[in-house]
Amino acid sequence: MKYLRYLLILIPVSIVFEFMHLSPTLVFVTSALAIIPLAGLMGEATEEISVYSGPRIGGFLNATFGNATELIIAFFALKEGLFEVVKASIVGSVIGNILLVLGASMIFGGCKFKTQSFNKKAVEVSSSMLLFSVIGLSIPAIFTHTVKVDLLTSKYESLSIAVALIMFLIYILGLYFSFFTHKDIYGSEHKGEVQSKWSLKKSILVLIIATLCIAIESEFLVGSVEAMTKAIGFSSFFVGIIIIPIIGNAAEHSTAVIMALKNKMDVAVEIAIGSSLQIILFVAPILIFLSLLFKPMSIIFNEFELVALIVSVIIANRVASDGESNWLEGVQLIAVYIIIAICFLIL
């Protein structure tokens, strides 16, 4: 984890590459790698601030900033009108969290500990919320693909905005649920033991600088996607669904694996499922709203994205209802991810 810091050197490198108009592939790779430690720093700064702000505001900050990287990258893709990339990256974040992050955690943790168990009750709230959210998000798309009526574009837009509003409302109610009416369900494990490493001032400064740098690098990244995909031969869809989410989720990814290695499987599972949930209930609606500033983006996913979403949710619920994990389960999650990735690659 600490070694990732060295990647920060790629910030100036990517800036130089961008302004010297070097190959888009080089710009893409350097800015992508630079984002990884920045996302880590942003996460750390948020954690630090929450030590000072108390658990309630801290929890809210963590919930909101947890997917800030994905949100910033998607924002620039939205501005460029790359709707397919934006939607693919929403789906890719969900499947990346459920299949890749959770699978890797189970393999690493499972190689060290024979069977790792976690509290089913705590995970079930998130996993069942994920189920309902994905169903809600999928219905307009299933409706569109099956009913095959030519609707006016304006109707799709209203439908997308209505669904986004409902999703966002559930997000707010979910925060109210977890911070007010049912705050006891969520573990108080972290309480008391946290010591601040940084001063509040330093934390806020790091948060602001990291966010700004992520914004710059995201602009480079998105700007080079199209030229890069042409040069390498990947589809932009593959970049959206596999590569961008891996970059955006790298921080959660390493945290989850570390937790699994410490046999804190509860935390690893909660990171993976909770992060997917935030993508659907917070990032996706916000992107729909933001798209109104440029050109309205519909919430209609394509058929394969739907399948990927539904598969992830079924697996997440199966895993959660189990209450136990082992290396073989992890291997199976990664195998499903690889098969999905191969399909997108040959598209």
Q: Is 147 in the site for a copy of itself (CB under 8 A)?
A: yes
Distance CA 90, CA 78 (A): 12
Tell me which stretch binds a copy of itself (CB under 8 A): 27-35, 72-80, 90-98, 133-141. Answer: 133-141
Measured CA distances, 17 to 232, 236, 311 (Å): 18, 21, 39
Per-residue tokens: 101: 């992050």
Q: Is 163 in the site for a copy of itself (CB under 8 A)?
A: yes
Q: Is 274 in the site for a copy of itself (CB under 8 A)?
A: no
Q: Of 179-208, which residues contact a copy of itself (CB under 8 A)? A: 181-182
CB-based burial label for 154 (10 Å; 0-12, 13-18, 19+): exposed
CB closer to a copy of itself out of 16 and 338? 338
CB closer to a copy of itself out of 80 and 124? 124
DSSP 197: S
CB closer to a copy of itself out of 72 and 320? 320
Q: Is 294 in the site for a copy of itself (CB under 8 A)?
A: no
CB closer to a copy of itself out of 75 and 344? 344
Check if the beta carbon of residue 140 is closer than 8 Å to that of residue 160. yes
CB of 321 to a copy of itself, least distance (A): 7
CB closer to a copy of itself out of 60 and 198? 60
Q: Is 172 in the site for a copy of itself (CB under 8 A)?
A: no
DSSP 116: E
Q: Is 175 in the site for a copy of itself (CB under 8 A)?
A: no
CB closer to a copy of itself out of 32 and 106? 106
Q: Is 222 in the site for a copy of itself (CB under 8 A)?
A: no
| Helix residue spans in the chain (DSSP H) | 10-19, 24-53, 55-65, 68-79, 83-95, 102-112, 120-147, 153-176, 200-232, 236-238, 244-248, 250-261, 265-278, 284-291, 303-322, 327-346
Residues with Cβ within 8 Å of residue 344, at least 6 apart in sequence: 235, 237, 238, 241, 242, 304
Region of 192 (left: φ > 0; alpha: ψ -120 to 50; beta: rest) is left
Q: Given candidates 173, 212, 232, 293, which one binds a copy of itself under the rule CB under 8 A?
A: 173
Per-residue interface string for the shown chain with a copy of itself, residues 95-114, x marking contact by CB under 8 A? -------------------x
Beta carbons within 10 angstroms of residue 123's beta carbon: 24
Check if the beta carbon of residue 102 is closer than 8 Å to that of residue 333. yes
Q: Given candidates 196, 236, 263, 326, which one binds a copy of itself under the rule CB under 8 A?
A: 326
Positions that interact with a copy of itself (CB under 8 A): 114-115, 124, 128-129, 131-133, 135-136, 139-140, 142-143, 146-147, 149, 151, 155, 158-159, 162-163, 166, 169-170, 173-174, 177, 181-182, 302-304, 307, 311, 314-315, 317-318, 321-322, 326-329, 331-333, 335-336, 338-340, 342-343, 346-347
